[in-house]
Structure formats: C-alpha cells, structure tokens
Amino acid sequence: MAPLLVPNLLAGQGKAIERDPAWKPAPTRPVVCRMRIGNIELGPRPLMLAPMEDVSDPPFRAICKRYGADVVYTEFISSGGLVYQAHDSVMKLDIRENERPVGIQIFGGDLGQVRQAAAIADAAEPDILDINFGCPVRKVVCRDGGAGILRNLPKMEAITRAVVEIATRPVTVKTRLGWDDNSIDIVRVARMLEDCGIKALAVHARTRKQMYRGQARWAYLRDIKKQGLRDIPLIGNGDALSPEAVTRMFEETGVDGVMIGRAAIGNPWVFSDAKSFMAKGTVPPQPTWEERIGVVAEHLDLKCAWLGERRGVNEMRRMYGGYFKGFRSASVLRARLMKAATQAQVQAVLEEFRPEQAVQRPSRGATVRASLPHFSRPKKQRVNAHQKQKQERKRGQRQPPVENHKASHGAQHTPKVLDVV
C-alpha cells in the first residue's frame, strides 16, 4: 500500500505513515449537553433535590426550586398507603404548578399494590413517576421494598415494567449499587432497567449494607455511564455535599445530573452555590442574616399552611439544625426555637436574633455563611448535674442528690433525629 503523506507542519516536512486497512471509526455516543428525562428538557448539568422523607415536602421543594433545583422529588410514598388511602400517603401526592418538573416517588415490594399505586400516583399528574429501589430501612427491605429488591432482580424487572406500562409519563428509578459488596451488579442492573423503558436512572453510590456509612463510591457511577446505560441519563447521588463536590461528581464520573440530599437540608442555597461554582469557580456572597431568617420564616409559614400550625411548628424543629449549622451559639438559638410552641413565638425568637449583634466569623468552606450573635453561657451552666456533684464532693461539700436531670436544667427539647431512608 502506498504510504500516506501527512504534512508535519511544525517541521515543514512531510512524514510517511502507514494506513491501517482494518481501521474503523470508534462508535461514538451522542454528547449529552442538555439533559432530557423523556420529554422533559433540562439544561446542562441539572441539579435534583433528592427525595427525602420528612424533608422534601411541598414547602421545602418550593424553596429549593427558587434557589436553583432543576427537578424536585417528593418524599417516598408507600404503595400500600396509597392503595389503602392512608392520609399521610395521599397527602404526599400534593404537588404544585410552581415546582415543576416534579417527580412523585413510590415504593413497595408487592407487584399488585405497586401497579395500583402507580396508577394513583400517575393520576396526580406529576412530571415524573419515580420508583424507589434504594431505601435501606429494615421494615421496608424485608418486604422487598426499597433496596430489598436488589436481592430479587427478576422482581425488580417485573415491577419496573409494570410501572412503565401503567404510567402516562416518564418513569425513573432510584437505586443503590447493590445489596452488599458481594452482590454489586449495578452495570447490568442499569442496562436491564433501561431495557424496561425507564427514562433516567439515579444511583446512590452505596450498597444497602453501607446504609450511609463510608464514602459513596463514585467510580461505579463512571462504570454505569461508560458500560451500563446507552441512551438514558444517569443521575449521580451520594456525598455531593458541597458545591465543590457537586462539580467533582460531574467531572469525575460523567453523570448527566447530580442529585443533592443532605446538603440541602437547611441549606437550599446549595443549588445556586453549586451552579455558580460550576460556571465561575466561585460561590455567591453569603446570604445576609435577614435572608436566612426570612427563608426560615417562609419555610415555617408554608409548613403551617400545609400541615396546620401545631404540626408545622413541630416539623420545622427538624430543620433548625441544618439552617443554623456551623454558627456560633447555634445551640442556644435552636434550644429557644425548640421551646417555641406557636408560629408567632418562633417568629419572635428569630427576630430577637437580629443582626445588629451578629458577629461575622471566618467561613469554613462554601457552605458556612454568616454567624449568629454570640450568646456565651457562663461556664458553670455547661457542667451537668452529675459533674457538679462530683466537683462539690471533691471540695468536701455535701450536695443534695439531684433527682431529676430535666428539673435541674429546665426541660430540654431534643430535636427528633430524622430517619434516614
């Protein structure tokens, strides 16, 4: 074969190379610049608010949407709950026009129930119907719900096919890498789910056994993207905990979208921060104290409107940890907020912390933004009753025994720890 002359422009001389007769162009995949979920057009690098029980309700979704979440998901809804019309399950179908595109997420391990639930959820007219195959909670997995289905892939396939058949809108799946380290088969599972007709796959890069421990294993996301999915987008999830981490997840794994969970709790600004970081490498200035308090007050207001004042005030207590995380004396403010029993009382506590007293302190990373006024407590108050007795004994003084820890310190309200699904 005649050698092909390729001009060497740098040297100004021709250089002969052999043409390989067997050479064929490598199969190219379309470069996904803008992401689509079925007929839903999203911009490049979209960010999703993760489904989170007791968190991703209409009030929080609305706020996250305003701060840049491109797609939001409801909390997971039990198929059985929908079939038997349990009040709390039906209530979670409540979606609003201003939060679209919104996905309703259902879970369940009973094919018959999931079918019915899919029809009910579909009738609520979300933009997306999502199936939860990732919840690690024991009472869910023991009935093949959530991540439990990862031990029964034929059933996973049957449920997915059934939901795709019933739904009149794009179906997506959210799952984990596998049941445990010995059974990770996510590349094949991804392909199987795509063959069932889903329109996007979200993967929390941990196994069920890991629950929330250890690091999310993003390398698997890269594998799914390269070898698993062909035409549908992959949404990466797990440990996208800051704007920098969101950016890294896109860059290191090639996912089409990133789903943010815990980092958004009490920090809806994470969406706009992440977008700014991706575009410019910087995050916007911290929101003023007024803005933060305003968002908390708005969140409370929306919660009360949705759930009624008593439940709204109670449920908001789970959010203060996130909203005031990292602030000096946050525990003092949180304790006061926990004690406030009405919306007006919460509002009053928030207003009492107005910024003329606020002290700015050096920020620790992009997510810590401002600081609360410093209400330092006298040291002795930090000593608990038991330690106090010990100290007194040491000094040789007698103390009457403390009978009731609460009585000696005033009632302590402990925020309910959120169940992690």
Ligand X SMILES: Cc1cc2nc3c(=O)[nH]c(=O)nc-3n(C[C@H](O)[C@H](O)[C@H](O)COP(=O)(O)O)c2cc1C
Catalytic residue set:
135
Q: x/- contact string, 301-340, with ligand X (CB under 6 A)?
A: ----------------------------------------
Query: Is 170 near ligand X (CB under 6 A)?
Result: no
Stretch that binds ligand X, among 8-16, 259-267, 276-284, 390-398 (CB under 6 A): 259-267
**Closest approach of ligand X to the CB of residue 54, in Å:** 6
**Closest approach of ligand X to the CB of residue 5, in Å:** 55
Q: x/- contact string, 126-155, with ligand X (CB under 6 A)?
A: ------x-xx--------------------
Tell me which residue of 68, 75, 161, 154 sits closest to 118, measured CA to CA. Answer: 161
Query: Is 92 near ligand X (CB under 6 A)?
Result: no
**Residue closer to ligand X (CB basis): 262 or 292:** 262
**Closest approach of ligand X to the CB of residue 193, in Å:** 15
The one among 78, 79, 89, 105 contacting ligand X by CB under 6 A: 105
**Residue closer to ligand X (CB basis): 51 or 59:** 51
**Residue closer to ligand X (CB basis): 174 or 199:** 174
Asked if 336 and 373 count as a contact pair (C-beta separation under 8 A), the reply is no
The one among 42, 47, 48, 53 contacting ligand X by CB under 6 A: 53
Tokens of 351: 């207003």
Q: x/- contact string, 218-247, with ligand X (CB under 6 A)?
A: -------------------xxxx-------
SS3 assignment for the chain: CCCEEEEECCCCEEEEECCCCCCCCCCCCCCCCCCEECCEECCCCCEEECCCCCCCCHHHHHHHHHCCCCEEEEEEEEHHHHHCCCHHHHHCCCCCHHHCCEEEEEECCCHHHHHHHHHHHHHCCCCEEEEEECCCCHHHHCCCCHHHHHHCHHHHHHHHHHHHHHCCCCEEEEEECCCCHHHCCHHHHHHHHHHHCCCEEEEECCCCCCCCCCCCCCHHHHHHHHHHCCCCCEEEECCCCCHHHHHHHHHHHCCCEEEECHHHCCCCHHHHHHHHHHHHCCCCCCCCHHHHHHHHHHHHHHHHHHHCHHHHHHHHCCCHHHHCCCCCCHHHHHHHHHHCCCHHHHHHHHHHCCHHHCCCCCCCCCCCCCCCCCCCCCHHHHCCHHHHHHHHHHCCCCCCCCCCHHHHHCCCCCCCCCCCC
Query: Is 64 near ligand X (CB under 6 A)?
Result: no
Measured CA angle at 147 (ends 217, 123), to 5 deg:
115
**Closest approach of ligand X to the CB of residue 258, in Å:** 9
Stretch that binds ligand X, among 181-189, 256-264, 337-345, 405-413 (CB under 6 A): 256-264
The one among 35, 42, 52, 117 contacting ligand X by CB under 6 A: 52
**Closest approach of ligand X to the CB of residue 383, in Å:** 33
Q: How many residues bind ligand X (CB under 6 A)?
A: 24
**Closest approach of ligand X to the CB of residue 154, in Å:** 22
The one among 50, 102, 201, 337 contacting ligand X by CB under 6 A: 50
**Residue closer to ligand X (CB basis): 10 or 417:** 417
Binders of ligand X in range 382-401 (CB under 6 A): none
**Closest approach of ligand X to the CB of residue 74, in Å:** 8
- In whole angstroms, give the CA distance from residue 113 to residue 116: 5
The one among 260, 295, 338, 370 contacting ligand X by CB under 6 A: 260
Provide the terminal-to-terminal Cα distance of the chain, rounded to the nearest Å: 65
The one among 148, 236, 261, 266 contacting ligand X by CB under 6 A: 261
Which residues of this protein are in contact with ligand X, per CB under 6 A?
50-53, 55, 75-76, 105, 132, 134-135, 174, 204, 237-240, 260-263, 418, 420-421
